Structure 1
């Protein structure tokens, strides 16, 4: 028997089919080809978060659904973002020792495993919604209620009966039926609480242009509010627009956020830093983001922590280094850079 050298090879040996998801910054599909190259040490992990790869694996057996399993793995990365091979080998060794449980009940295979983790409730709901689509299963029992609520067929105050799983099922099925249209029509009248929940689900999909246009006045309204009356809605709205393919409108909305004093708030900065990484590759967004981060209420500790996490991303390291050397940066940003890297770079 050929020696098993990768996690995907081991899964293949069990006869299971596998679909991978990244669960770091948002729930997103992860191709098996990309993960195989990560396992081989050929490329860094593309979406690191807090110096780890957060991976969800859906394992299923078409002829034996009772053997279906879900794994959530938190794998350390080295200083260049590559998977630590010793960790991968240790994980394989642990799984091989428990090969009986792996074949009979994949969930038991990770029992007491130091590399497993449990996603928060919102990410778990999105993962289950995606898994249902992969397995061609019906949506949860909360889905129909969510459709009725966002279609305006129930009183607005009935949001308290909404299950987050129903919202998750709805957003991953945006293209089915009238789902996207009913959400677009609902955004204007939604109370703040269900709007926030919807926004936190939309960050995991790709809301289209009309949906983004519907969110625009709510975002402008949130920018005009103070934090005390906001209840976290502005940060949720930033998350909602962060993954839209409507690049020009997305950029315009994020520019308005960064131009606002509210961009100094820790919760808003965190939403920008953790969800808007693709947008931050644009120097016209990255530079004002760094200025807000340096002047923000999180202080030097927050600046250093957020920047270190962003620079760990292969696609952002170069743009950030260029922005930090911008001769037109403010004294506040220069001082924060000097505190983090040493005065030499802060003065360069």
Structure 2
């Protein structure tokens, strides 16, 4: 067998060949764990990416040496997907070739810290995503929270004055949210919500979208959402939608999504976008999808927003089928019919097959 044939044929095999251990996280719509079996099948284009975002697979690979667990590295990767949601093999092969070259060029046959430097498949998460990832990864690795955790914990528990929030580090907030089931954090958060400064609440909500809120936290957040719906603050409505988006009770999620869609905030770009990208499972209910499409057609983002949001949703096969079915509804409004026609560049009677 030639040397070429013995080279690793996947990222998983490459990491194993260097003695590295691996954990994988989805970094797309929200941060969640992917099993190593899922990752290998995704890598081999055998399994559609479960949560595509912007037609890409967004992943974080947490890599460490089991003999020196304090020495770890994180790769943030984004790979293009085909129409079936499978990783494009050419992109996967190109990435693997670049990584193999990095190992060959390294001094010790290991993956350098800058293995992804100038790599077209790498990305840097924004501040919120990075903080949430570090908080969740530390917990996953059974490592302590950051040094900022203690002060944030004290603030949530009322051991610091309310106006001390400006001295809290973002990473500390992320650590508290990642450990809601520890140190009485969830109870403290629920109690603090009622008098929480707007800036803190709108900072916490994107962190909360990566967690499964308990019943008590859902109730507290839902109360805040109802209050926000009665105001003219669409940014707060959108933020609270994000905070509630990962709840497991789909019927309850559908109910509050409908209440948001029935409000004056529904046509605001920031609100309708959050419902499309974070509450997409609620849109699998035809009655919710119907209202969503009508509001989207009348949205402040206009035809461009309508087309972009639907193109994103229709990349997911189940949503595509449901949307095309909803397009055929003879009771759809003239505004929706016109938006559909403009999106497809034709008068819409029967949706195009592709």
Report deviation, 1:248.
3.1
- Over 3 Å counting, the alpha-carbon distance change for 1:104 and 1:41 in structure 2 is closer
1:314 and 2:317 aligned:
yes
Q: Could you give the per-residue CA deviations for residues 157-203 of structure 1, whole angstroms, max 9, x where no partner exists?
A: 21111212111111111222311111112111111111111111100
Report deviation, 1:6.
1.3
Further displaced range: 103-112 or 78-87:
103-112
* Structure 1 residue corresponding to 2:243, chosen from 237, 240, 259: 240
Quick one: higher RCO (CA 8 Å, sep 6+), 1 or 2?
1
Match of 2:11 in 1: 7
1:113 and 2:116 aligned:
no
* Structure 1 residue corresponding to 2:86, chosen from 70, 82, 93: 82
> Aligned equivalents of 2:96 and 2:153: distance in 1?
43
* Structure 2 residue corresponding to 1:47, chosen from 39, 46, 51: 51
> Aligned equivalents of 2:8 and 2:322: distance in 1?
39
> Aligned equivalents of 2:176 and 2:245: distance in 1?
18
8 Å CA contact retained: 1:44, 1:314: no
3-state secondary structure, aligned to 2:25:
strand
- Over 3 Å counting, the alpha-carbon distance change for 1:26 and 1:179 in structure 2 is same
Report deviation, 1:106.
4.1
Match of 2:196 in 1: 190
Moved over 6 A (4+): none
3-state secondary structure, aligned to 2:196:
coil
3-state secondary structure, aligned to 2:113:
helix
Match of 1:132 in 2: 138
Aligned-pair Cα RMSD in Å: 1.8
8 Å CA contact retained: 2:102, 2:112: no
1:92 and 2:96 aligned:
yes
1:259 and 2:262 aligned:
yes
8 Å CA contact retained: 1:67, 1:105: no
Report deviation, 1:247.
2.8
Further displaced range: 299-308 or 108-117:
108-117
> Aligned equivalents of 1:175 and 1:295: distance in 2?
41
* Structure 1 residue corresponding to 2:184, chosen from 178, 183, 189: 178
> Aligned equivalents of 2:232 and 2:319: distance in 1?
31
* Structure 1 residue corresponding to 2:206, chosen from 197, 200, 205: 200
Aligned residues: 345
> Aligned equivalents of 1:196 and 1:183: distance in 2?
14
8 Å CA contact retained: 1:334, 1:347: no
More helix by share: 1
Match of 1:336 in 2: 339
TM-score (norm: length of structure 2): 0.93
Report deviation, 1:67.
4.1
- Over 3 Å counting, the alpha-carbon distance change for 1:40 and 1:177 in structure 2 is same
8 Å CA contact retained: 2:103, 2:112: no
1:279 and 2:282 aligned:
yes
- Over 3 Å counting, the alpha-carbon distance change for 1:246 and 1:186 in structure 2 is farther
Structure 2, unpaired ranges of 5+: none
